[in-house]
Amino acid sequence: MADLSANSARPEIGASAPGFWSRLQQIPRYYIYLLLAMVVIWQILFPIFLPITPSATTRGLEEAIRTVPEGKLVLISADWDSSTQAETGPQTAAVIEACLRHHKPFVLMTLAPPMGAKLAHNIASEIAKRYHARYGVDWANWGYKYGTSNVLMAMVKDVPKMVGSDFYGQPVKSLPIMKGVRTVKDIGLVVEVTGLAGMTEMWIGLIQGPQGVPFSAAYTAVMAPGYYPYLDSGQIEGMLVGAKGAAEMEVLIARPGRGMAIMSAQSWAHVLIMLFIIVGNLGYLLARGRERRG
Amino acid sequence: MTGTEIAILWAAAIATLGVYSILYRENPVSRLLEHIFVGLAAGYLLVTTWTQNLQAKWWAPMVDSGRWYWVFAPVIGLLFYFIYSRRLAWLARLAMGIYFGQAAGVYFREFFPLYSPQIWASFKPLRPIFDAAAPPVSVSLAWWSVVIQNWLFVAVLLTVMSYFIFSVPHEGKAGRALGKSALMGRWFLMIAFGAMFGNTVMARISLFIGRVQFLLQDWLGHYVHWLAQRGM
C-alpha cells in the first residue's frame, strides 16, 4: 500500500546531488527577501529611471477625462484603503491631477471600504492646493456611502437626495459644484479606482450599460487582467494598471509624481525577480539532467 | 511636526516592521498587529457608517423631522439575530429571504448590461472592411493588423471554450480534433495565467515599495531632515 505521509513526498530534484546548481534549489527564502529589499532601498535612495511609454489603456483614460463635456462632473469612486494604497493612491492622485489639468470639476465618493473616503480626501486636498482649486466649486467629496448597489440604483433617480451630506457633513445641495446635477446622467465620466473585485460589475451593470454614463477605471495590477474584455467591448473607455498605470498617466499629463517615484524601484525589482526565475529554472533543469545521468 | 503626528509616525513604522516580521516566521507581534488592524477597520466602518450615512439619512429625519415611523427600519436587520434562538430562528430566515431576494433581483438587473456587450464584441469580422470615407493612413498595414488580431481572437476564444467541453470523450476523429483544440486552449489559458501572475508580482512589489518609501522617506527621512536642519 502506498505511503501517503508527508515524508514520503517525491524528493526534490537536486536534493541528493550536492552541486552548485543543486544548491540553488535550496537557498533559504530570507536571502531572496533580503536581496529584494536591498534593490528596492537602493532604487528609492538612488533612482535610475527606465523610459515609460504610456499604453493604449492609459491614453484611453486620459482622453476620456479630456473629452468630458463642459459643465459635467467627473465622479471618482475611490473604493480602496490602506491595504492597496501603494497602487491606488498614486492612481487616484494621477486621475485627480488629470482632471485639474483639463479643468474638469470632480467629486470623490467611496462605496467600500470606508477608509477610502478619508485617504482620497487627503490626496485631493494636497493636489487641489497646488492648482488653487476650491472645495465645493472645483471639487467635492461625497464621502463614504453605505449600500453599494442600492446607492447606484438610487443615483439613477436623484443624485443629491442619495448623497445627502458630503464628507464634512454639509448638505451637498448647498455646494456650487452640484448645480445642474440631478440624475446620474448629469455625470460626464465615472472613474472607478479600486482593488476590490465586483465594484466594476455593479457600475457597468447598473450605470454604464442602462444609463449610458461613460466609465473608466484604475485597478490594482492583480485584478487588471480580468477587465481587458470590458475594454475590448467598449464598456470601459480607459484603464490604469497598477502603479505603472499611474506613472504612465503622470507622463501623459507631464506631471511626475507618486507613480514615477515607485517605478524605478518597481522596474529593478522586476529585473531581480526575472533573474531569480531564470537562475532557479536553470538550476532545476541542470540538476535534473545531472540526476538522470546518474 | 506636532507630538501627535510624531507618535502616529512611530506607530505606523513599528506596525510596518512588526507586520513584516512574519516573513521570518509566525510570531506574536505580527499576530497582535493583525488583530489590531482588523479591529481598527471594523471600528472605523461602524463610526463612518453612522457619521456619513445613518446620522443624516435616518437619525436626523426621524428625530428632527417627525418621521418617527423610521424607527421600524432597523427591525428587519435585527431579525438576523434570531438565528441564535432555536425556537424563533424562522424569523432570521425571513430576513435572509428578503436579503437574498433583493440581491438576486439586483444581480439579474446587472447581468444583461454587463455581459451582452461582451458577447457582441466577440463577433469579429475576419475580413474587415474599412470606412471608405475615412480610410486609415496605411490601409494595407492597418488591414493586416486588424485581420491578424481578429483571427487570433477568434482562435483563442474557440479553443479555450473547447477546453471546457467535458462531456465529449476525446476519441474518434471528431473527439481527437476536440482534444487537440482543448490542448491548444489549455496553452492559451496558461499564457493568460502567466500574465495574471506577472501582474500579481507587480502588485505585491508595489505594496512593498510603498512601505519602504514610508520607512525611508517619511519615518527616517523626518529625522534626517531634523538633523540636517541642525547642521549635523
Q: What confidence score (pLDDT) does residue A128 get?
A: 96
Interval A150-179 mean pLDDT = 92
Q: How far is CA B87 from CA A42, B76, B93, B98, in A?
A: 65, 18, 12, 20
Q: Which of A71, A249, A225 is nearest to B193 (CA)?
A: A225
CB-CB under 8 Å, B114 with A201: yes
Q: Determine contact, residues B70/B61, Cβ cutoff 8 Å.
A: yes
Task: Inform me whether the pLDDT recorded for B200 exceeds 70.
Answer: yes
- The model's confidence at residue B56, banded by pLDDT at 50, 70 and 90, is confident
Q: How far is CA A146 from CA A115, A160, A197, B192, in A?
A: 12, 15, 17, 35
Give the integer Cα–Cα distance in Å for A164 and B53.
8
Tell me the fold of A56-259: Rossmann fold (3.40.50)
Task: Inform me whether the pLDDT recorded for A7 exceeds 80.
Answer: no
A292 CB neighbour count, 10 Å cutoff: 8
How big is the A-B interface in CB pairs under 8 Å? 151
Give the integer Cα–Cα distance in Å for A247 and A253.
10
State pLDDT tens for residues A79-112: 999 889 999 999 999 999 999 999 999 999 999 8
Mean residue pLDDT of chain A comes to: 89
Interval B146-159 mean pLDDT = 93
> Could you tell me if the ipTM is greater than 0.85?
no
CB-CB under 8 Å, B24 with A41: no
Q: What H or E segment, with its residue span, contains residue A143? A: strand A139-144
β-partners of residue B139 are none
Q: What confidence score (pLDDT) does residue A10 get?
A: 47
Residue A267 in contact with partner chain B when CB distance is under 8 A: no
Greater pLDDT, A204 or B130: A204
Greater pLDDT, A199 or A13: A199
Residue A232 in contact with partner chain B when CB distance is under 8 A: yes
Give the integer Cα–Cα distance in Å for B62 and B73.
10
Percent of chain B whose pLDDT exceeds 70? 96
> Which residues in chain B have their CB less than 8 angstroms from residue A81's CB?
41
State pLDDT tens for residues B115-134: 999 999 999 888 877 666 66
Q: If DSSP codes are grouped into helix, strand and coil, which group holds residue B227?
A: helix
CB-CB under 8 Å, A44 with B121: no
Q: What's the angle, vertex CA A49, arms to CA A46 and CA A54, rounded to 5?
A: 150
Task: Inform me whether the pLDDT recorded for B47 exceeds 50.
Answer: yes
CB-CB under 8 Å, B200 with A242: no
Give the integer Cα–Cα distance in Å for B203 and B210.
11
State how far residue A21 is from chain B, nearest Cα, in angstroms: 25
Q: Determine contact, residues A210/A184, Cβ cutoff 8 Å.
A: no
Nearest CB among B24, B49, B114 relative to A146 is that of: B49
- Ranges A78-92, A218-232, B7-21, B50-64: which has the least confidence: B50-64
State pLDDT tens for residues A181-191: 999 999 999 99
Mean residue pLDDT of chain B comes to: 90
Give the number of C-alpha atoms closer than 13 A to the C-alpha of residue B120, restricted to the C-beta side. 9
> Which residues in chain B have their CB less than 8 angstroms from residue A205's CB?
109-111, 113-114
Nearest CB among A41, A146, A234 relative to B212 is that of: A41
Q: What confidence score (pLDDT) does residue A248 get?
A: 95
| Segments making up each domain of chain A, as ranges | 56-259
Q: What H or E segment, with its residue span, contains residue B175? A: helix B172-213
Give the integer Cα–Cα distance in Å for A65 and A188.
9
Query: Pairing state of beta strands A187-194 and A73-79?
Result: parallel
Q: What confidence score (pLDDT) does residue B231 get?
A: 79
